[in-house]
């Protein structure tokens, strides 16, 4: 099947338009200090241009969505690639909505990168259109997945708001213990994002160069009749193997920087399916993330948070606090409806039970409980400002674990993931 | 210690009140300048009673949001731990004691021994859910009543301290030439245009809108309580049933513990064609099912239902094609397409009894693989079924056994009586499948009788063959309506609470000095804009941001 050239072109265009919009938002903030201009008019004008660019990018993204729908014959939310591109689209949507309420260009500087990191992450997964298995042949695929993703997208904007609040409020000159702790926490959050970027970057680079390493092992099992059966298990790496799977032999490996064989073997307790490969991917991601972080520190010569914080300097922290909270307040009912209630209705129809403690279900519940705690602490116990911002940052990490981590680490009924 | 709760305005407040119920004057720290705590408008709650009894102490425990947050957090962590390894109920058939050790080593054993392998059915997890339910009820009651009281009897003219200590507040002179009464009534009409309900009392004004959103949290909690009760109701006997059945094509089986029988008339499987599949799947040679369905018939048993000897009397009540996402539903009894297995098996044959030497045929009979009859009469011969092995095999000692109940390799032992046979009858062993007949040397086992009689299937006519076994999940869940109603009420509640905000604006004019205060439970940004817009139209220009804390920006 022809890999949907029309729709993927639109996605590519959307990606670059978002990138442009991001640069325009940056320009609208940093350019206001240039001479010969009134800062307020500058930000307003360029913020508006950047907003228009985001709308154009979103329009391309929507075109991608519907052309792929037409080409594939079913709504493109049925595998990891399609879901992630959709989530990216909804993050842009959520950003546009929140932007229209608060009209703060700085939000674009933080929300847009979340959107295009998610889109880039989508491209790590195989992009071919796959036929729908019977379990997915239901109109609930359209309803459940889209509403759940929309709710999560608002949490993503809440995360952007929370991060901005922290960058604005954390005192980088402070030397007291709480100051230091906050600085470290913020650096760690930024490092976490860079690790994700490192993951996407390394998969892209090695996939593009066609890197491959293969391992194999023989597994002997004794079945119920007492007969021994020997099966062969194979494992293919797209990243150079720093760690090889436990108990497997190397079949082939392209040398990488003079490295002709894996440096370590995964510990024996890592026996789950593809545990060795996943560990290798994690090591690569952390390494590239650390390298990116190191480079950024070398260039800026100060903590990353301190380097970024001037962007949000002009913002009123209370406004940032409210933006973050508002995005979450908009997202929470949508998330509940999509990820829990519609999910339960579909589960009842497809599997005969509305709830089965499947890992994905449990993690959706955990996400929901987490934001419930966030809302209770905020509304009833007055947690605002920094504490609320930290919770919105952690909350989105929980969301990402539910979407990605559960598929990669824990298997279950929802594990339609590839990589 | 006696704390005076009587306000200057003469109103007697209950213990625990922080803002006078009538005029709003702060009762604690009354000459401070900090923002007022506006939750429940400063009303006393039941949990703030003095001299609590034991019951009060339990009430106080569960009425605390802090405690509620802790319970939710513990539930959250427990749920996360429960997903580390698969739960026991993920598998239909396994030995947990071995499974966790074999697959996950020492950590798995610890996980199993600590009971995390059945986290979600454990008493402590269910206790946590109970505690959440209790907390929901008590927290809501403890707050909704004082809030209702506070909102249903609001005074229009509030104490000045009440107004200046709001988050959004403004104090300043009236515009020149403005007359207090006229200014107030213009303000009232401006706010009415913004959908406020406005009450005035001379030069004092109270404008309020979307009060209903304050009930949102309580409504969503009611929804959750109904939802949890629905979950609880599933343990009422007969309200919940969950079982799995495997049915060969053509097979009819009783649904255990019910008077219903279900038949798999035909099973259809359609695979995706190669042209529909992407390269990666084609390369691996995977087959991908497009649809599979069971054409099912549901019968109600009207007589002889639990009598093994007699044939049950069945009456067809419902007929449906069961697909994934399209269950059969008959009066709350539901059958879901769960799985299928390719299992080529015989359903029934129609063998002919003949004389192998002359070729003379004595007739044929229907022989089903499920519940064959005890006796068949064919021409002059009588065939008594002595033994039936659906899945024939030999054990260690060479004795015939049936390895399973599925007719994978059926074998029948008849005792035949009739012409030219011993009066007490002679045994005849019959394997309907040619492959088994040869594998187990049917003719040699039968010996002499094989020279006189032969049971064999002449043609494919009368042979019924099943290609697939369908697995159905049979369910009854009478609590579902409560669960859906609970979920719907929850949604109504959160939408009310999150998409609307309760906004109130108070103002009073004393000697041409305007004092304004405004409060909302969410979205201060919107409230500030609305207040500033109304004031601008009424000749007081102030930027929305300056209204925050009365323009006293740090």
Task: Report the percent of chain B where pLDDT is more than 70.
Answer: 97
Specify whether the CB–CB gap between B348 and B461 falls below 8 A: no
Alpha-carbon distance of A354 to A351, in angstroms, equals 8
| Chain A closest-CA separation from residue B83 CA (Å) | 5
Closest alpha carbon within chain A to B107: A269
Alpha-carbon distance of B74 to B79, in angstroms, equals 9
Locate B553 and state its tokens. 């920006």
Residue B411, strand partner residues: B389
Contacts of A41 (CB under 8 A, 6+ apart): none
Residue numbers in B near A370 (CB within 8 A)? 76
For residue B1, pLDDT beyond 50: no
**Phi and psi torsions of B19, nearest 5°:** -125, 135
For residue B3, pLDDT beyond 70: no
Specify whether the CB–CB gap between B191 and B537 falls below 8 A: no
In this predicted structure, what is the pLDDT of residue A409?
A: 67
Are B324 and A137 a contacting pair at CB < 8 A?
A: yes
Give pLDDT tens digits for A213-263. 888 877 776 655 566 777 777 778 888 888 888 777 788 787 777 777 788
Alpha-carbon distance of B254 to B347, in angstroms, equals 17
Residue B269, strand partner residues: B292
In this predicted structure, what is the pLDDT of residue A270?
A: 63
Quick one: average pLDDT of B148-172?
Answer: 88
Task: Answer with the residue of higher pLDDT: B5 or B553.
Answer: B5
Report ipTM for this prediction. Answer: 0.88
Closest alpha carbon within chain B to A346: B325
Cα dihedral A344, A345, A351, A356 in deg (nearest 10): 20
Sign of CA dihedral A175, A176, A177, A183: negative
Specify whether the CB–CB gap between B325 and B467 falls below 8 A: no
Locate B223 and state its tokens. 């929804």
**Across the interface, which of A140, A349, A363 has its CB nearest the CB of B327?**
A349
SS (H, E, C) B395-438: CCCCCEEECCCCCCECEEEEEEECCCCCCCCEEEEECCCHHHHH
Are A269 and B480 a contacting pair at CB < 8 A?
A: no
Alpha-carbon distance of A257 to A205, in angstroms, equals 14
A window 290-329, beta carbon within 8 A of B:
316, 318-319, 322, 325-326, 329
Instruction: Look at residues B345, B343, B344, B353 and name the one whose alpha carbon lies nearest to residue B430.
Output: B353
pLDDT bucket at B288, cuts 50 / 70 / 90: confident
Are A406 and B83 a contacting pair at CB < 8 A?
A: yes
Are B480 and A357 a contacting pair at CB < 8 A?
A: no
Give the start-to-end residue ranges of the domains of chain B. 45-151, 157-217+486-547, 240-346+468-477, 351-461
Instruction: Look at residues B79, B467, B81, B468 and name the one whose alpha carbon lies nearest to residue A365.
Output: B79
Locate B19 and state its tokens. 């803002």
Give the start-to-end residue ranges of the domains of chain A. 3-172+302-418, 173-301
Q: Would you put residue B29 in left (φ > 0), alpha (ψ -120 to 50) or beta?
A: left
Are A133 and B75 a contacting pair at CB < 8 A?
A: no
Are B290 and A129 a contacting pair at CB < 8 A?
A: no
Own/partner contacts of A5-9, CB < 8 Å, gap of 24 or more, are A6/A67, A6/A71, A7/A63, A7/A64, A7/A65, A7/A67, A7/A68, A7/A71, A8/A64, A8/A68, A8/A127
Are A354 and B279 a contacting pair at CB < 8 A?
A: no
CB pairs under 8 A between A and B: 143
Specify whether the CB–CB gap between A161 and A327 falls below 8 A: yes
Compute and round to an integer the Cα radius of gyration of chain B.
40
Give pLDDT tens digits for B234-280. 888 888 888 889 888 888 888 988 889 999 988 998 888 888 888 77
Locate A68 and state its tokens. 């792929």
CA B437, distance to chain mean position in Å, is: 51
Instruction: Look at residues A138, A349, A134, A353 and name the one whose alpha carbon lies nearest to residue B329.
Output: A349
Does residue A339 belong to the interface with chain B, where contact is any CB pair within 8 Å? no
Closest alpha carbon within chain A to B227: A341
Alpha-carbon distance of B124 to B112, in angstroms, equals 15
Specify whether the CB–CB gap between B466 and B487 falls below 8 A: no
A178-182, B45-49, B205-209, B271-275: least confidently modelled range: B45-49
In this predicted structure, what is the pLDDT of residue B236?
A: 84
Are A316 and B89 a contacting pair at CB < 8 A?
A: no
Specify whether the CB–CB gap between B152 and B159 falls below 8 A: no
For residue B106, pLDDT beyond 90: no
**Across the interface, which of A1, A126, A369 has its CB nearest the CB of B76?**
A369
Closest alpha carbon within chain B to A103: B525
Under DSSP, the state recorded for A414 is T
Task: Answer with the residue of higher pLDDT: B467 or A222.
Answer: B467
In this predicted structure, what is the pLDDT of residue B187?
A: 92
Quick one: average pLDDT of B438-450?
Answer: 84
In this predicted structure, what is the pLDDT of residue B210?
A: 93
| Chain B closest-CA separation from residue A101 CA (Å) | 9
A window 97-116, beta carbon within 8 A of B:
101-102
Alpha-carbon distance of A304 to A324, in angstroms, equals 21
For residue B8, pLDDT beyond 60: yes
Are B82 and A271 a contacting pair at CB < 8 A?
A: no
Does residue A352 belong to the interface with chain B, where contact is any CB pair within 8 Å? yes
**Across the interface, which of A333, A359, A362 has its CB nearest the CB of B498?**
A333
Residue B314, strand partner residues: B301
A153-162, B1-10, B307-316, B383-392: least confidently modelled range: B1-10
Q: What is the distance between the terminal CA atoms of chain B, rounded to a whole angstrom?
A: 38
Task: Answer with the residue of higher pLDDT: B336 or B42.
Answer: B336
Measured from the Cβ of residue B180, the count of other Cβ atoms closer than 10 Å reads 17
Locate A353 and state its tokens. 């039970």
Residue numbers in A near B80 (CB within 8 A)? 362-363, 366
Alpha-carbon distance of B540 to B512, in angstroms, equals 13
Query: With a cut of 70, which residues of chain A have pLDDT below it?
Result: 1-4, 35, 221-227, 268-273, 408-419
Task: Answer with the residue of higher pLDDT: A245 or B428.
Answer: B428
Contacts of B46 (CB under 8 A, 6+ apart): B59, B63, B141, B142, B145
**Phi and psi torsions of A253, nearest 5°:** -160, 125
**Across the interface, which of B120, B475, B491 has its CB nearest the CB of A333?**
B491
- Identify from A352, A360, A375, A382 which residue to disrupt to test chain B contact, counting B C-beta atoms within 10 A and taking the largest count: A352
In this predicted structure, what is the pLDDT of residue B311?
A: 78
Closest alpha carbon within chain B to A71: B276
Locate B449 and state its tokens. 């009788």
A window 24-83, beta carbon within 8 A of B:
none
- Identify from B35, B45, B79, B289 which residue to disrupt to test chain A contact, counting A C-beta atoms within 10 A and taking the largest count: B79
**CATH 1.20.1600.10: does it fit domain B157-217+486-547?**
no
Are B499 and A318 a contacting pair at CB < 8 A?
A: no
Instruction: Look at residues B260, B317, B273, B270 and name the one whose alpha carbon lies nearest to residue B293.
Output: B270
Instruction: Look at residues A284, A362, A368 and name the one whose alpha carbon lies nearest to residue A334.
Output: A368
Specify whether the CB–CB gap between A109 and A29 falls below 8 A: yes
What is the pairing mode between strands A243-244 and A264-265? parallel
Closest alpha carbon within chain A to B40: A380
Locate B176 and state its tokens. 């020149």
In this predicted structure, what is the pLDDT of residue B105?
A: 75
Are A130 and B521 a contacting pair at CB < 8 A?
A: no
- Identify from B64, B99, B324, B554 which residue to disrupt to test chain A contact, counting A C-beta atoms within 10 A and taking the largest count: B324
């Amino acid at each position: 099947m022809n890999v949907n050239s029309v729709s993927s072109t639109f996605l590519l265009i959307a990606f670059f338009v978002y990138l442009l919009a991001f640069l325009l938002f940056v320009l609208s903030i940093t350019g206001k200090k240039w001479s010969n201009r009134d800062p307020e008019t500058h930000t307003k004008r360029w913020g508006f241009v950047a907003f228009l660019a985001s709308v154009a990018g979103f329009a391309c993204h929507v075109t991608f969505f519907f052309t792929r729908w037409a080409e594939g014959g079913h709504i493109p939310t049925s595998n990891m690639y399609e879901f992630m591109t959709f989530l990216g689209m909804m993050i842009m949507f959520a950003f546009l909505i929140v932007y229209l309420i608060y009209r703060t260009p700085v939000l674009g500087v933080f929300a847009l990168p979340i959107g295009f990191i998610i889109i880039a992450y989508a491209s790590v997964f195989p992009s071919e259109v796959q036929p729908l298995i019977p379990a997915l042949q239901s109109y609930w695929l359209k309803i459940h997945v889209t509403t759940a993703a929309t709710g999560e997208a608002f949490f993503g904007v809440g995360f952007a708001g929370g991060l901005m609040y922290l960058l604005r409020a954390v005192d980088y000159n402070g030397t007291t213990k709480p100051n230091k702790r906050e600085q470290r926490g913020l650096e760690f959050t930024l490092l976490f994002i860079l690790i994700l970027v490192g993951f996407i970057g390394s998969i892209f680079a090695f996939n593009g160069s066609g890197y491959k390493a293969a391992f194999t092992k023989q597994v002997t099992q004794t079945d119920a009749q007492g007969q021994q059966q020997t099966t062969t298990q194979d494992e293919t790496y797209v990243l150079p193997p720093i760690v090889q799977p436990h108990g497997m032999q190397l079949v082939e490996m392209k040398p990488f920087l003079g490295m002709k064989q894996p440096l370590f073997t995964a510990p024996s307790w890592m026996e789950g399916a593809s545990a060795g490969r996943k560990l290798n991917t994690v090591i690569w991601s952390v390494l590239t993330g650390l390298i990116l972080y190191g480079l950024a520190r070398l260039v800026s010569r100060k903590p990353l948070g301190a380097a970024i914080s001037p962007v949000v300097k002009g913002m009123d922290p209370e406004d940032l606090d409210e933006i973050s909270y508002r995005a979450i307040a908009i997202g929470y009912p949508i998330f509940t409806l999509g990820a829990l209630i519609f999910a339960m209705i579909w589960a009842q129809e497809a599997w005969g039970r509305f709830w089965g403690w499947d890992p994905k279900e449990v993690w959706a519940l955990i996400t929901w409980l987490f934001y419930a705690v966030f809302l209770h602490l905020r509304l009833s116990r007055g947690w605002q400002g920094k504490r609320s911002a930290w919770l919105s940052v952690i909350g989105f990490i929980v969301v990402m674990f539910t979407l990605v981590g559960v598929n990669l680490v824990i298997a279950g009924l929802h594990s339609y993931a590839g990589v | 210690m006696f704390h005076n709760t009587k306000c200057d305005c003469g109103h007697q407040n209950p213990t625990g009140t922080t803002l006078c119920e009538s005029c709003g004057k702060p009762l604690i720290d009354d000459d401070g300048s900090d923002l007022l705590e506006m939750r429940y408008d400063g009303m006393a709650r039941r949990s703030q009673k003095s001299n609590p009894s034991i019951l009060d102490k339990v009430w106080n425990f569960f009425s605390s949001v802090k405690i509620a947050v802790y319970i939710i957090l513990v539930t959250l962590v427990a749920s996360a731990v429960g997903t580390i390894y698969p739960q026991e109920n993920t598998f239909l058939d396994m030995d947990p004691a071995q499974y966790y050790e074999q697959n996950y080593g020492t950590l798995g054993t610890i996980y199993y021994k600590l009971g995390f392998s059945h986290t979600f059915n454990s008493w402590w997890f269910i206790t946590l859910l109970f505690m959440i339910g209790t907390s929901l009820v008590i927290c809501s009651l403890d707050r909704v009543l004082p809030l209702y009281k506070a909102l249903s009897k609001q005074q229009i003219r509030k104490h000045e301290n009440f107004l200046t200590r709001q988050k959004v507040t403004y104090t300043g002179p009236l515009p020149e030439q403005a007359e207090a009464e006229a200014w107030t009534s213009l303000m009232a009409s401006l706010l009415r245009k913004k959908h406020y309900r406005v009450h005035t009392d001379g030069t004092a004004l109270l404008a309020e809108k979307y009060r209903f959103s304050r009930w949102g949290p309580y409504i969503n909690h009611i929804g959750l309580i109904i939802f949890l009760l629905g979950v609880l109701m599933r343990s009422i006997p007969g309200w919940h049933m969950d079982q799995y059945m495997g049915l060969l094509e053509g097979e009819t089986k009783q649904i255990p513990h019910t008077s219903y029988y279900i038949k798999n008339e035909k099973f259809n499987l359609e695979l995706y064609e190669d042209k529909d599949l992407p390269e990666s799947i084609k390369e691996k040679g995977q087959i991908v099912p497009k649809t599979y369905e069971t054409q099912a018939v549901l019968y109600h048993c009207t007589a002889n239902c639990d009598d093994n000897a007699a044939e049950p009397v069945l009456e067809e009540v419902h007929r449906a094609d069961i697909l994934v996402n399209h269950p059969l539903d008959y009066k709350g009894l539901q059958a879901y397409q769960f799985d299928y297995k390719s299992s080529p098996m015989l359903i029934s044959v129609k063998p002919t009894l003949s004389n192998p030497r002359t070729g003379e045929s004595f007739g044929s009979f229907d022989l089903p693989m499920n519940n064959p009859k005890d006796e068949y009469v064919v021409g002059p011969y009588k065939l008594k079924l002595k033994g039936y092995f659906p899945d024939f095999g030999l054990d260690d000692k060479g004795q015939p056994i049936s390895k399973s109940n599925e007719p994978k390799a059926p074998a029948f032992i008849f005792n035949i009586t009739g012409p030219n046979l011993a009066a007490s009858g002679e045994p005849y062993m019959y394997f309907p499948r040619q492959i088994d007949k040869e594998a187990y040397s049917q003719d040699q086992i039968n010996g002499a009788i094989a020279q006189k009689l032969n049971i064999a299937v002449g043609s494919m006519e009368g042979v019924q063959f099943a290609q697939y076994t369908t697995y159905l999940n049979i369910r009854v869940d009478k609590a579902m309506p409560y669960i859906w109603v609970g979920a719907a009420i929850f949604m109504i509640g959160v939408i009310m609470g999150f998409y609307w905000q309760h906004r109130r604006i108070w103002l009073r004019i004393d000697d041409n000095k305007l004092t304004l205060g405004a409060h909302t439970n969410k979205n201060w940004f919107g409230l500030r804009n609305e207040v500033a817009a109304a004031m601008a139209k009424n000749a007081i220009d102030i930027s929305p941001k300056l209204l925050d804390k009365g323009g006293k920006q740090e």
